Amino acid sequence: MNKASIKVVASKGAVIPQYKTGGAAGADICALLSEPLLIKKGGRAIVPTGLFFEIPQGYEVQVRPRSGLAAKNGITVLNTPGTIDSDYRGEIKVILANFGDEDFVVNNGDRIAQIVVAPVTIGIFELADSLNETERGSGGFGSTGK
């Protein structure tokens, strides 16, 4: 398994990300709140974690939903996957959306998302007059079947 060292500064009471099993790709991150946060049905909220990362150049940290929150409560990360760039030094915050049937309360210390460390490939964009033809061509959404 590949590893990348990420420096973490944690505010008082913040929980350092943790992998829950030996084969987990995602590490859980938790809310750092002074009081419970209500996310109304159909609503969204930016949830602080109290964490600050120094991510090595050539890597990103992706913020993804936790499957249990999504399946049981309809809670997801709105901009999935969210990208934390290697040059960002601000607090890690998570945009949660409530697509569930009821209001949802986030408490201090709740596991709200998971993060995955991933290598970054930089694209080299070259202006061209035309593109190679393919079987699909310019067919867009739903063009390959139902």
Count of the separate structural domains present in the chain: 1
Q: Is the residue at 11 inside a domain?
A: no
Q: Which residue range is the domain that position 108 belongs to?
A: 25-119
Choose among 107, 102, 98, 89: nearest CA to 30.
Answer: 107
Q: Is the residue at 100 inside a domain?
A: yes
Q: Is the residue at 66 inside a domain?
A: yes
pLDDT tens string 82-137:
999 999 999 999 999 999 999 999 999 999 999 999 999 999 999 999 999 998 88
Q: Is the residue at 128 inside a domain?
A: no
Round to whole Å and give the CA distance between 136 and 94.
Answer: 37
Here the CATH number for the domain that contains residue 56 is: 2.70.40.10
Neighbours of 116 (CB within 10 A): 14
pLDDT > 70 in the chain, percent? 99
Has residue 143 got a pLDDT over 90?
A: no
Q: Is the residue at 129 inside a domain?
A: no
Q: Is the residue at 136 inside a domain?
A: no
Round to whole Å and give the CA distance between 75 and 98.
Answer: 5
Q: Is the residue at 63 inside a domain?
A: yes
Q: Is the residue at 88 inside a domain?
A: yes
